[in-house]
Amino acid sequence: MSEAGARGATAPRPGSASPKGRRRRGSPTSVGAWPVAFIGLLMLGVAVFYYWPIVKNIITSFQQTNAFGGDPQFVGLDNYKSLFAEPEIGSAIGNTLLYTLILLIGVPLSVAIASMVELPGLRGKSVYRMIYFLPYLAMPMAVAQVWKVLYNGNFGLINQFLRVVGVDDPPYWIVTPGFAIVILLFVAIVTVIQFIGQKKWVNYV
């Protein structure tokens, strides 16, 4: 067969689609509207339960409302003027910045702890994984109740232990300003370490 005949035998016919141009079944471009539906439902939930409360709070901050209902009245910047006139505003801003800083420190710390769990030759690795993973299965409200029971000033487990070892008047951790911020920061850093570290550990699986 001549070279021209070979070319004619392999050349596609006019009007026929080339193999590369054909769309295969099940390709991402032929799945229809299902991805849009799933992503749309997810984004709707995020918008309703996350973004709308933020927008609502911003709108409410410019209004005067009361606990018994009634039509809110627009007051402009009066609420912000009253807020910044409070003597505790500096302490509140400082605590917020400190809380944010502690959370940011928890990110590299959680990655480091998760990486240590995956060290080669580490004994009891499955036990460490289980301990690390168990709090992730609990609901946040249940975890919050556990922390509340631990730090309760009257019957909390920590105060009961302190009384056993000889501390007659243990502090009320949650309601004492000096201890409350420390307890809050400790719970926050543990939560961040557990959450981000768990995401890091899942990448190894």
Residues 199 and 101 in one domain: yes
| Exposure on the CB side of residue 35, measured as CA atoms within 13 A | 7
More confident residue, 74 or 123: 74
pTM: 0.56
Q: Is the pLDDT of residue 12 over 90?
A: no
Number of domains in the chain: 2
Average pLDDT, the chain: 77
Helices 177-202 and 125-137 sit at what angle, rounded to 10 degrees? 120
Q: Which of 46, 63, 85 is the last residue of a domain?
A: 85
Which residues span the domain enclosing 68?
Answer: 33-85
Give mean pLDDT, residues 47-60. 92
Q: What φ, ψ does residue 77 adopt, rounded to 5°?
A: -95, 15
Q: Is the pLDDT of residue 204 over 60?
A: no
CATH number, position 169 = 1.10.3720.10
Residues 139 and 197 in one domain: yes
